[in-house]
Amino acid sequence: MLRRIHEGHQGAEKSKERARAVMYWPNMNNEIEDYVSKCTTCLRFRRSNTEEPLKQHNLPERPWQMIAADIMTFKRRNYLIVLDYYSKYVEVPLLPDKTAKSVIAALKSIFARHGIPDRLICDNMPFASRRVHLFSKEWGFKITTSSPEYPQSNGLTERNMQTIKQLMRKCHYEGSDPYLALLNYRSTPIPELKASPAQLFMGRNLKTRLPTASALLQPGIITNISKNLRARQHPQKYYYDRQEQPIRELEAGEVVRIQHDKRWEPAVVPQKHTAPRSNFVTQNGRSLRRNRRHIHPTLRSPLNKNQEPALDDYLPRVNTSSQTDKPRPCAIDDKEKQPTLET
């Protein structure tokens, strides 16, 4: 009956409503919920996890202390986007290709002008390569990579990359100079901070094509930057977190499913990961890293797709020693193909 109730793979509530219309047995609702929660097909095609509360990076204390990097492609040309978390100042060098060698050469050129940062936040390829890690060790800075298939963790760079690409798209359409657009972008004050990225980064305004008094181009000290940056972040987190709920951490040995191309595949958590919201899982002998939002814990370990599920868990227990010749108390056609359950 459980298998027939869940034909069509509707959710637990729909399945219970369907059963209540025609039948009843003790503890029926709980058994239907348990059966649906372990259905392999439903687990494979379940919806994505809800978003978690916004987790923001700690604010740096000075310019160029913490930077972020990503690769942007526009009109078949590759650009390295390097953004300062403190001032929002951006560098956009052209790359000959996306290899680690080209990325390292561009980073060295930028570091030679602005200095070596303490921390670089980036995606995995090619920043997770052995060559880039040797470069970071030699030059003395730390690399923090985001979870694969989760670019939101490097959201500041992603957002600024959209802005830079939009500027370049408009310049290409109009036939104007993209370098002037980039200069104007660096010189435009950030509303909440009342200072431009160039001011926050260099301590001075950049001369543009607009008529500017000489006094405005003199170096100066801008105060209360950290305070204003925190005040700018607070409302962003407040409005983002109003309807979001945290997801519990995973334990070592826990059986889970990971999301890939809108499908959920079985995997196991080999050990508890120390990085926030990032876990390593093992699937078919491979070790994969995924964000917690792309991992869903299951109640039981997965069965082989050719293995029959144990429906005895849903049937009344029978004393076989005294009733060896009696039929099972629930009539189920054993020849029918039963759905695989997540155990």
Query: Tens of pLDDT along 294-337?
Result: 787 886 544 344 433 444 443 444 444 444 444 444 333 443 44
Please compute the mean of the pLDDT values over residues 44-58 and round it to a whole number. 71
Cut 0.75: pTM above it: no
Read off the pLDDT band of 240 (50, 70, 90).
Answer: low
Give the pLDDT score at 244: 64
Highest mean pLDDT among 110-114, 201-205, 232-236, 256-260 belongs to 110-114
pLDDT at 274: 60
Q: Is 148 exposed, middle or buried (0-12, 13-18, 19+ CB in 10 A)?
A: middle
Mean pLDDT, the chain, whole residue set: 79
Q: Given this model, what pLDDT does residue 341 score?
A: 44
Give the residue, 13 or 53, on which the prediction is more confident: 13
Per-residue model confidence (pLDDT) at position 236? 62
Q: Which residue has better confidence, 245 or 216?
A: 216
Q: Is the pLDDT of residue 342 over 60?
A: no
User: What whole-number distance in Å separates Cα of residue 109 and Cα of residue 91?
Assistant: 11
Residue type, 216: L
Mean pLDDT of 231-241: 61
- For residue 238, what pLDDT is reported? 57
Look at residue 276 and tell me whether its pLDDT is greater than 80.
Answer: no
Check residue 256 and report its DSSP letter.
Answer: E
Q: Rounded to whole angstroms, how far apart are CA atoms 155 and 157?
A: 5
Residue 220 has pLDDT above 50, yes or no: yes
Q: What is the largest CA-CA distance in the chain?
A: 103
Residue 61: its pLDDT value, please? 86
Residue type, 118: D
pLDDT in tens, 179-212: 999 999 999 998 877 889 999 999 899 999 999 8
Better-scored residue on pLDDT, 165 or 292? 165
Please give the residue that has the higher pLDDT: either 298 or 176: 176
Residues 32 and 12: their CA atoms lie apart, in Å, by: 7
247-256: long-range contacts, CB 8 A cutoff, minimum separation 24: 247/49, 247/50, 247/52, 247/292, 247/293, 249/292, 250/279, 250/292, 250/295, 250/297, 254/297, 255/297, 255/298, 255/300, 255/301, 255/302, 256/281, 256/295, 256/296, 256/297, 256/298
pLDDT digit string (tens) for 55-102? 666 788 889 999 999 999 999 999 999 999 999 999 999 999 999 999
DSSP letters spanning 160-224: HHHHHHHHHHHHHHHT--HHHHHHHHHHSPBTTTTB-HHHHHHSSPPP-SS---GGGGS-----S
What residues are paired with 108 via a beta bridge? none
**Distance in angstroms (rounded) separating the CA atoms of residues 1 and 153:** 45
Kindly write down the DSSP assignment for every residue of 71-121, as one continuous string: EEEETTEEEEEEEETTT--EE--EESSSSHHHHHHHHHHHHHHH---SEEE
Q: How confident is the model at residue 53 (pLDDT cuts 50, 70, 90)?
A: low
